[in-house]
A and B are shown apart, each in its own frame.
Chain A
């Protein structure tokens, strides 16, 4: 049985190669993805919004996304909004450190730069918890150590073993473009929903299938009440085509 994608928080870092602040975004994002919130976060490379496929571009419409930028140009936040979806939140390194902070080089951060990584990662982890509606967990496995830029308190031993960051590059979110009334719209996760219902033995035209399609699609997509009937009809049509193609 296919699993529907789990709601996680997407993290998009600018990773700007020309400034130390860009490296701070990259390392802070990786700290959250690998150590602080590995089960709750996923990432994608920013350029894939242009260079990738439709599934990559659906990233910020499916995952509530935090854009992490190094400077006031806010490439990650602006490009994510322009090409994928409006980020749910954003952090900027220079807001944290000031414009003139000496953080080392883009290649090698100094101690102040490393401290900025820890503070930013802590803020990022807290935003992840907020977006998922989780209490700010203080258990040993999840707690983020209190670190401040001013005092430079050292991070205690890492709370959890490192895992690899969950990367969405190239896999993308399954999407379906369909006609609703006279509009062409792209809905996320719908192909996975079709597959799940199909494998459960559900078929078009059977009582309740149209309503179930709509209900599941609404978990992942904003569907206005006033247009729910039109969406349901469109989903039912597409599900019929899906089943037809499956059965040859």
Chain B
């Protein structure tokens, strides 16, 4: 755990697909609204670049990754950076549990996309609670 005792959360933020934005929005909901004291967001682009400070932050805490497609860039990059993926979320799995929703939009989600992000954020919060309990 890092000195703040926080889990780092890394969304893929996939730019060409709705699910990338859903993952990004869900992560902001987690770290700002649901579990602000227990989680913090980390920029994936810094990991891609191999930024040492970011890698050190990554290695010091369990990580939650949030991917928008099966290529699972966030999860792969965290593992490649020496991080410990404690929970691996994929927006597609959440969508399968809420098939009535029709998420659309990349730069701005439609209401169904926002709802899907909230469902995912709830799942991430539960995962964060489990991780925190295990780490104690």
Chain A contact residues, CB within 8 Å of chain B: 13-19, 22, 26-27, 29-31, 33-34, 43-52, 73, 75-76, 78-79, 82-83, 106-107, 164-170
Given contacts A27-B107, A169-B69, contact A18 B77 (CB under 8 A): no
Give chain A residues whose Cβ lies under 8 Å from the Cβ of B76.
Answer: 47, 50-51
Given contacts A51-B73, A52-B71, contact A169 B14 (CB under 8 A): yes
Using CB atoms, name the residue of chain A closest to B10. A17
Given contacts A73-B49, A167-B15, A169-B14, contact A47 B43 (CB under 8 A): no
Interface membership of B42, Cβ < 8 A: yes
12 A-B residue pairs with Cβ-Cβ distance under 8 Å, sorted by A, are A14-B43, A17-B27, A18-B42, A44-B15, A45-B14, A45-B16, A51-B73, A52-B71, A76-B45, A79-B45, A164-B106, A169-B16
A22 to B43, CA, bound (A): 9
Other-chain residue from B10, B45, B72 in contact with A14 (beta carbon distance below 8 A): B45
Q: Say whether B24 contacts A17, CB under 8 Å.
A: yes
Interface membership of B113, Cβ < 8 A: no
Given contacts A30-B106, A31-B107, A75-B48, contact A47 B17 (CB under 8 A): no
Interface membership of B13, Cβ < 8 A: yes
A48 to B10, CA, bound (A): 15
Q: Say whether B13 contacts A75, CB under 8 Å.
A: no
* 45-71 of chain B: CB within 8 A of chain A: 45-49, 51, 69, 71
A50 to B76, CA, bound (A): 9
Q: Count chain B CB atoms within 10 A of each CB in A13, A34, A47, A75 and give the residue with the most.
A: A47
Other-chain residue from A26, A51, A167 in contact with B77 (beta carbon distance below 8 A): A51
Q: Say whether A79 contacts B71, CB under 8 Å.
A: no
Using CB atoms, name the residue of chain A closest to B13. A15
Q: Say whether B15 contacts A165, CB under 8 Å.
A: yes
Q: Say whether A17 contacts B106, CB under 8 Å.
A: no
Chain B min CB distance to A16 (Å): 4
- Total of A-B residue pairs, C-beta within 8 Å: 115
Q: Say whether B45 contacts A46, CB under 8 Å.
A: yes
Q: Say whether A165 contacts B80, CB under 8 Å.
A: no
Using CB atoms, name the residue of chain A closest to B25. A107
Interface membership of B20, Cβ < 8 A: yes
Q: Say whether A51 contacts B72, CB under 8 Å.
A: yes
Given contacts A17-B41, A22-B43, A76-B45, contact A167 B16 (CB under 8 A): yes
Give chain A residues whose Cβ lies under 8 Å from the Cβ of B126.
Answer: none
Using CB atoms, name the residue of chain A closest to B41. A17
Give chain A residues whose Cβ lies under 8 Å from the Cβ of B15.
Answer: 13, 15, 26, 29-30, 43-45, 165, 167
Give chain A residues whose Cβ lies under 8 Å from the Cβ of B48.
Answer: 46-47, 49-50, 75, 79, 83
Q: Say whether B49 contacts A79, CB under 8 Å.
A: yes
Give chain A residues whose Cβ lies under 8 Å from the Cβ of B20.
Answer: 45
Give chain A residues whose Cβ lies under 8 Å from the Cβ of B46.
Answer: 16, 73, 75
